[in-house]
Amino acid sequence: MSPRVRLADVTPPIALGPLDGRYRAAVAPLVDHLSEAALNRERVHVEVEWLIHLAQHQVVPGAPTLSDADVAYLRDVVATFGPDEVAELAAIEKITVHDVKAVEYFLKSRLAAAPEGSALREVGELVHFGCTSEDINNLSYALMVRGAVQEVWTPAATALVDQVAELARALRDQPMLALTHGQPATPTTLGKELAVLAHRLRRQLVRIGHDEYLGKLNGATGTYGAHVVAVPGADWPAVSKSFVEHLGLTWNPLTTQIESHDWQAELYADVARFNRVLHNLATDVWTYISRGVFIQIPVAGATGSSTMPHKVNPIRFENAEANLELSSALLDTLASTLVTSRLQRDLTDSTTQRNIGPAFGHSLLAIDNVARGLRGLSVDEALLARELDENWEVLGEPVQSAMRAASVAGVTGMENPYERLKELTRGRRLTADDMREFIGGLGLPDDVAARLAVLTPASYTGLANVLVSYLDA
């Protein structure tokens, strides 16, 4: 028997995880923000902007002034950062065995290659000036996560919530038997139930939209020690603050060697909460499909079961459930571990933060699956009407409430309304005739009796359709 081919040796390399393999297309936009290559590009970006900031603000005495062409050259190093540069950095890191030091040497090589006569050839020692690796890393991660959230994840999540809200509006008047504890309960509308989920998801998006992205640049132990010794005349906290804010981040004035990552914990908790609400939507829609409320529109050529040809499985919602659970577990771990570091610094956050991409990737994949699943649904209105007509006992609630109101108004014969309806309805299936006969024998005022006489389970939906309008508030 021939030995098996070593899949680990196949070129191009085979992905170990599903996000970079089977589900690559759905999560590919995150690669620009949360991959290892994106981390190195942001490191180059931060180093470039720090160099420009020091020179333009004349922080270090004797440093030459950079021309517009010099600044453009530096920023072009970031803009053109691609596969060749990724490979070059990897080669440098094999020598340095230090990722941030490799970035420093990479940028210095670009300064040395600047055009003849450029001031950039004279500012090599301003690269990484006064910085510890975490000064670069914390700012890079903040920029990466901000970009991923604002440019990829939030637009996808917002589009999905808008899709749910639009479906809620379309179904605002579709009556449906509600189930509480899995038992027939006061009717609602399908649109109102979807509106509840859309509203919950929007609240989390608002929270996520208000979350801060913090950064620091203050040296090896957060004291500006090297900065003050090298250039005692500079107002280093002010320089740091202006630089961090120049990057569009919120300045953290008090840290150890590392930025404390509390903002990450806050953000990840909010995203995980969004995930869990979306998980609730997925399980509810799955249940509606199981009940037959939603019918899945078959996809031509698709197979639901390898042995049962009639099946159309709700795989989009099941896939979403699993990926939301994975995402939330990763986000919970990130949030709980990143807020702790031994004294000034340990490296647990270094490997932990490299899993930010998978955490958002599983969430983005779930969002994609739910959106696709919702697009493939139609409503079985006949089933909903049949369920309602088979459960006239749900009108026990409004009838006993009307009896209570009549009793308060002084109408006699309205004693023990709850108990009388309980005796009539509990454990029994009533017909329309049964309920109307009971109402007719109560002795209610004519206007109340007339109102109850025309009430049906399908019309007993209260203000459900009106409540959907709160999505537009």
Residues involved in catalysis: 181, 305
Kindly list the distances between the CA atom of residue 93 and the CA atoms of 34, 43, 68, 88, 111, in Å, as whole numbers in the listed order: 20, 14, 31, 9, 19
Token digits of residue 28: 């590919």
The partner residues of 294 in beta bridges, in order of sequence, read: 379
Instruction: Please list the alpha-helical segments (H only) found in 149-300.
Output: 154-170, 190-210, 225-230, 236-246, 262-291
Q: Tokens 């079961």 map to which residue? A: 305
Which one, of 266, 267, 270, 277, lies nearest residue 201 by Cα? 277
Whether 331 contacts 271, CB under 8 Å:
yes
Q: What are the b/e assignments for 307-340, b being 16+ CB within 10 Å?
A: eeeeebebebbebbbebbebbbebbbebbeebee
- The alpha carbon of residue 407 and the mean position of all alpha carbons in its chain are separated, in whole angstroms, by 51
Q: Tokens 């609730």 map to which residue? A: 280
Which one, of 408, 11, 401, 344, lies nearest residue 186 by Cα? 401
Which one, of 212, 281, 62, 243, lies nearest residue 136 by Cα? 243
CA dihedral (206, 338, 33, 362) in degrees, to 10, reads -70
CA atoms within 13 A on the CB side of 225: 8
Radius of gyration of the chain (CA): 31
Please give, one letter per residue, the 3-state secondary structure of 60-96.
CCCCCCCCHHHHHHHHHHHHCCCHHHHHHHHHHHHHH
